[in-house]
Amino acid sequence: MDTLSRRLDGMMNRRSLLAGMAACGLSAALPAPAGAASPILMRPIPKSGETIPAIGMGTWITFNVGEDETLRKQRSEVLRRFFALGGGMIDSSPMYGSAEAVVGGGLARLGAPDTLFSATKVWTWRGSAGEEQMANSRRLWGLPSFDLMQIHNLVGWENHLETLLRDKAEGRVRYIGVTTSHGRRHEELEEIMASQPIDFVQFTYNVVDREAEQRLLPLAAERRLAVIVNRPFRRGALFSPVEGRPLPSWAAEIDCANWAQVFLKFIVSHPAVTCAIPATSQVVHMEENMGAMTGRLPDEALRQRMARDLEAV
Amino acid sequence: MLSYSVEVLQSLLAYYNQALWPGHLLAVALVLLALLLVAFPQQWGGRAIAVVLAAGWLWVGWVYYVERLGRIDFSAPLYGAAFLLQGLLLLWTGVLRGALRWRMRLDLYGSVALLLLLIAVFLLPASVWFADAGWRQLRLVGLMPLPTVLFTVGMLLLTASKTPLHLTVIPLLWALAAGATAWTLALTAETALAALCVLASVMVIWRGRVARPQAA
């Protein structure tokens, strides 16, 4: 499979290959990239059929390292490992301090691979400032356009949506979406999901915060929206209660080697989820996270059991 | 909601101190001058102390918050604006109106003031030094928020007449916010110092409420 992948690389890039595979109704598992042991889990973007790796990378806090060259180089190593293990989506925002600049610096250092699925956000109340902010984001990332532009936390969404639709029509962005990480805004998010021509939606979902299962995830499936899941580890809080505990017996049934993979497999096994975006500043954690894209996934019965068992913890 | 880690904050502080050197010497000299003017009052001392305090707030507001921390923290410009406002209030009250005079006092307010000044000027820098963090982690009055607020609140407890309320509001609000931040980052010493700042700010307000109007 590696050989096939390398041969095909010469003819077409990975992304167009994925889109073609999905359009033909082929499996969403892609041959393993260099460094990965087995095929990785890919998920289709419902509106286009293009597939992307089911585990992406968030940059909140972890990539906001300012001017420190040592820390920037460390983050570049995290990025290198991310891509080596088949990573695709990187999600950031102008709200994340220097994170966009650090991602851009890393991409310049490593070279942006074909697998990169660049996602950032517009975050300003002033509709007129949105275009300038997005142009600045392109400059910081060193990219001519983004794959996905989202409206951060629904801030000024009515104004920005117009701009985003125009940018999409003119090719400055391929997909558009909205995000929230606040449960209290789910109602407004639902209204947007139900009524606006967006491609992606991003919200919080994890084995403890499962409110999205009631309405958001079914609505996303119904409206054919790709779903990005933020805070998959509940800002790291999921790890404290399980620290030092052995993995449950069912973890072996879904090929999990650590708790990060348990938490992530719970998320990406939901049929409406497209991509989870854990954030990390450590290469070793990145390796653990990316491991969730290989091996078996839990079925619905096991998902229920996982939720029950982990709630008890 | 913090957008950076302690590690990154320490890195930012190291770059900041490196860029400022040898400006630290000027900051220390100005602070010692202010303390001398409290111990040995001069006709022009009140205005001079107000200038020193205002300069610290303006510097921290613009250079530290807006120019430096603003690179990693979206809320830093808001803090910067508050510090700039406090600097302007100190200039207006202490320099233009000449409404601030200082004197040493031996009551409870004076003791708390002394404690705050001691921490801000000596103990905070010394603790960094002895913790092996090196001069790059140095936090000095007039250059970093915490010692600047500690020093200012300490000085406000030493005003000869009651302290105008408008000079206490921003230090109090900052101490509350900084305390919450330090708590989030599990920085025990900073949390305790912010709590001390809150307590002292309340004492400044309390002293203003119970102080008798001074005879002209």
Domain containing residue A83: 50-312
Is A71 close to B71, i.e. CB distance below 8 A? no
A153 reaches B (C-beta below 8 A): no
For range A191-196, the mean pLDDT: 96
Q: Return the higher-pLDDT residue of A280 and A311.
A: A280
Let me know: does A62 contact A96? Beta carbons within 8 Å: no
Q: Which has the closest alpha carbon to A121: A194, A204, A59?
A: A59
Q: Which chain B residues touch A96 with a CB distance below 8 Å?
A: 3
A175 strand-pairing partners: A148
Q: Model confidence over A268-309: pLDDT tens digits?
A: 999 999 999 999 999 999 999 999 999 999 999 999 999 999
pLDDT band at residue A2 using 50, 70 and 90 as cut-offs: very low
Is B72 close to A98, i.e. CB distance below 8 A? yes
For range B7-33, the mean pLDDT: 94
Q: Which chain A residues touch B5 with a CB distance below 8 Å?
A: 61, 281
Which residue blocks in chain A are alpha helix, DSSP H? Answer: 2-11, 14-23, 69-84, 99-110, 127-141, 157-169, 186-195, 216-222, 239-242, 259-268, 283-290, 300-312
Is there a domain that residue A58 lies in? Answer: yes
- Residue B7 pLDDT > 70, yes or no? yes
Counting the structural domains of chain B, the total is 1
Q: How many CB atoms lie within 10 A of CB A141?
A: 24
The whole-angstrom separation of Cα B50 and Cα B100 is: 7
Q: Which chain B residues touch A66 with a CB distance below 8 Å?
A: 4, 8, 11-12, 15, 71-72
What percentage of residues in chain B have a pLDDT greater than 90? 77
Domain containing residue B171: 6-210
The whole-angstrom separation of Cα A58 and Cα A257 is: 22
What is the distance in angstroms between the Cα of B109 and the nearest Cα belonging to chain A?
Answer: 41
Q: Which chain B residues touch A78 with a CB distance below 8 Å?
A: none
Q: Which has the closest alpha carbon to A99: A91, A89, A108, A88?
A: A91
Q: Which chain A residues touch B11 with a CB distance below 8 Å?
A: 65-66, 68, 71
Q: What is the pLDDT of residue B212?
A: 54
Counting the structural domains of chain A, the total is 1
Let me know: does B176 contact B164? Beta carbons within 8 Å: no
Per DSSP, A173 falls in state E
> B130-165 as b/e, with b when 16 or more CB fall inside 10 Å?
eeeeeeebbbbbbbbbbbbbbbbbbbbbbbeebbbe
Q: Which chain A residues touch B12 with a CB distance below 8 Å?
A: 66-68
Is there a domain that residue A19 lies in? Answer: no
- Average pLDDT of chain B to the nearest whole number: 92
And the tokens for A183? 């449960």
Is there a domain that residue B122 lies in? Answer: yes
- Side chain identity at residue A66, one-letter code: G
What percentage of residues in chain A have a pLDDT greater than 70? 88
Work out the angle between the directed axes of helices B6-20 and A69-84 (0-180°, nearest 10): 140
What percentage of residues in chain B have a pLDDT greater than 70? 96
Q: What is the pLDDT of residue B120?
A: 97
Q: Return the higher-pLDDT residue of B206 and A11.
A: B206
For range A1-27, the mean pLDDT: 34
A129 reaches B (C-beta below 8 A): no
Let me know: does A228 contact A180? Beta carbons within 8 Å: no
What percentage of residues in chain A have a pLDDT greater than 90? 82
A188 CB-near residues (< 8 Å, 6+ apart): A154, A180
CATH of the domain at A199: 3.20.20.100
Q: What is the DSSP string of B46-76?
A: HHHHHHHHHHHHHHIIIIIIIIIGGGT-TTH
For range A130-146, the mean pLDDT: 96
How far is the first Cα of chain B from the last one, in angstroms, to the nearest whole number?
49
Let me know: does A146 contact A118? Beta carbons within 8 Å: yes
A165 CB-near residues (< 8 Å, 6+ apart): A176, A197
For range B130-145, the mean pLDDT: 86
**Which phi and psi (to 5°) does residue A201 adopt?**
-140, 145
Q: Model confidence over A198-208: pLDDT tens digits?
A: 999 999 999 99
Is A61 close to B5, i.e. CB distance below 8 A? yes
Is B72 close to A60, i.e. CB distance below 8 A? no
Is there a domain that residue A232 lies in? Answer: yes
Is there a domain that residue A8 lies in? Answer: no
Residue to mutate among B7, B8, B64, B66, with most A CBs inside 10 A, is: B8
Is there a domain that residue A12 lies in? Answer: no
Interface pTM, i.e. ipTM: 0.82
Chain A to chain B Cβ contacts (< 8 Å): 42
The whole-angstrom separation of Cα A41 and Cα A270 is: 13
Q: What is the pLDDT of residue B161?
A: 84
Q: What is the pLDDT of residue A32?
A: 56
> B110-120 as b/e, with b when 16 or more CB fall inside 10 Å?
eebbbbbbebb
Q: How many CB atoms lie within 10 A of CB A109?
A: 14
**What secondary structure, in 3-state letters, does A59-99 show?**
CCCCCCCCCCHHHHHHHHHHHHHHHHCCCCEEECCHHHCCH
Is A71 close to B12, i.e. CB distance below 8 A? no
For range A162-177, the mean pLDDT: 95
The whole-angstrom separation of Cα A282 and Cα A78 is: 6
For range B167-172, the mean pLDDT: 96
Is there a domain that residue A298 lies in? Answer: yes
Of A60, A66, A281, the CB nearest to B71: A66
pLDDT band at residue A123 using 50, 70 and 90 as cut-offs: very high
- Residue B110 pLDDT > 90, yes or no? yes
A64 reaches B (C-beta below 8 A): yes
Is there a domain that residue A26 lies in? Answer: no
Q: Model confidence over A33-56: pLDDT tens digits?
A: 555 556 899 999 999 999 999 999
Q: What is the pLDDT of residue A257?
A: 96
Is there a domain that residue A200 lies in? Answer: yes
pLDDT band at residue A29 using 50, 70 and 90 as cut-offs: low
What is the distance in angstroms between the Cα of A198 and the nearest Cα belonging to chain B?
Answer: 27
